[in-house]
Amino acid sequence: MTHETPSDRADLAARLAFSIGRLNRRIRPASELTPGQVSALATIVTSAPIRPGDIARLERVAAPTVTRLLADLESRGLVQRSADPGDGRSFFVSPTAEGTEAIRVARDERAHRVLEVFDELSEEQVASIAAAIGALEAAAETTSA
């Protein structure tokens, strides 16, 4: 049994944060959309129809941020609004065909870039990543990307 100290956990946390940040920059798709727009659009694609407040909660951003993101995505023709029949003050957001395609392309690009990273690693290192993926998904509070 290993005895982990608080400093071990802090070191692990710092290393993980640094690695995730650097890896995220390496695999980020070349897109006209910002990372925030891609993330919000992916949430909309996987959860539509969805209320803006639910997007804010899932994306962990403030309501004004979601309002700006939705305005940008709507102006690009990537999402559309529909009235909430149960609440005349609210609306639902759904992706357009173009929005769904934009997310498919972004996911494919990211996956391709991750495969390129895997090519730089040993089989043992890739196996270690595979063994940790469940814990990483749980930490990210998602089961699919």
Domain boundaries, the chain: 34-140
Q: Residues 83-119: pLDDT tens digits?
A: 988 888 889 999 999 999 999 999 999 999 999 999 9
CATH classification code of 34-140: 1.10.10.10
With a pLDDT cut of 70, the percent of the chain lying above it is: 95
Contacts of residues 46-53 at CB distance under 8 Å and 24 or more positions apart, as own/partner, are 46/144, 48/92, 48/93, 48/94, 48/95, 49/82, 49/92, 49/93, 49/94, 50/92, 50/93, 50/94, 51/84, 51/90, 51/91, 51/92, 51/93, 52/90, 52/91, 52/93
Q: What is the pTM of this model?
A: 0.78
> Residue range 48-63: average pLDDT?
94
